[in-house]
Amino acid sequence: MSGIYRGPGGTGDATGDAASEAALAVEKAAAAAASATSAAASATAAGNSATAAAASSTNADTQATNAASSASSAATSATAAASSATSAASSATTAASEASGAADSATNAAASETSASTYASTASIQATNAASSASSASTSASTATTKASEAATSATNAASSASAASTSASNAATSETNASSYASSAASSATSASSSASSASTSASTATTQATNASNSASAASTSATNAASSASSASTSATNASNSASTASTQATNAANSASSAASSATNAASSATAAAASATEASNTLASTVKLTGDQTIAGIKTFSSTIAGTVTNGVVTTGSYSNPTWLTSINGGTY
């Protein structure tokens, strides 16, 4: 039956009501403990996320430093490539100039050789002319002898023959003079030919030297071009490394930002869990304060209604399962509210 619990001897199930209130209090206390545990876990997660964020930030700084170093290396390699390219261009220009000088010397040598050949040909012609003049002189001398012999033999023709002999002798002398002149000219032409041949040899030697210089310059230009290509390749590799380091730095920075965001979320969750734990603890405390205890002394205020009969014994009181009307002396107190 239903009744109002009025203290010792009153109606109602104080034991059942107290057990229900105690179970609720235990449930609230467990909820408070769970919230506190969740708050601790969230705080730990927040600490871990903050540590990860710091590590990611450090990694991002390291990668940024690496990117800067790689960019500096790329700039240095590019400068070296430019210098090598300039050296290659200068060497190529020098090679072109020396090749041009070699070509000019070769042309001069060819011209000198041609002159020597011309002088030699002239000397040969002059020698041939000298030989012809000498032959003519010999022929004239023979004729003179013949004429002298004829003069001695024929007295009649002596005057004529003597005159002819004189003429032949004069012709012989003239031919001999011409032969001497031709020989002198041949000697001069031979000397000129020798000088031209010497000049041709000198020019050919100069051309060879300049050709060697041109080859060396061309080789130096090739080496400089190879160095320029190597420097350019190094610059490209350094630039790629710089780009990769910058990309890694960006990724590390993103990871740091994500870790920081996770740390902030974990901190927020920890704060929320701590608030929930505090609320649960407060609610548990309030529930325990309003719960009817099964043992010990307790003052209970207000009217308590129980849904079933109170079980147990009462000391210094009366427990009844019946219903009765309040006596008039009781209802008259305080306007019949009891």
Residues 6+ apart with CB under 8 A from 176: 133, 134, 137
* Average pLDDT of the residues in 128-137: 74
Task: Give residue 312's Cα distance to chain centre.
Answer: 91
For residue 285, give both structure tokens. Answer: 């405390």
pLDDT in tens, 329-338: 877 886 655 5
Cβ pair 179, 133 in contact under 8 A: yes
pLDDT above 70 as % of the chain: 80
pLDDT in tens, 13-43: 555 666 676 677 778 778 888 888 887 888 8
* Average pLDDT of the residues in 103-127: 77
304-306/3-5 β-pairing: antiparallel
Cβ pair 151, 157 in contact under 8 A: yes
Asked whether the predicted pLDDT for residue 165 surpasses 70, the reply is: no
* Average pLDDT of the residues in 290-298: 74
Cβ–Cβ contacts within 10 Å for residue 237, how many?
Answer: 14
Beta-bridge partner residues of 305: 4
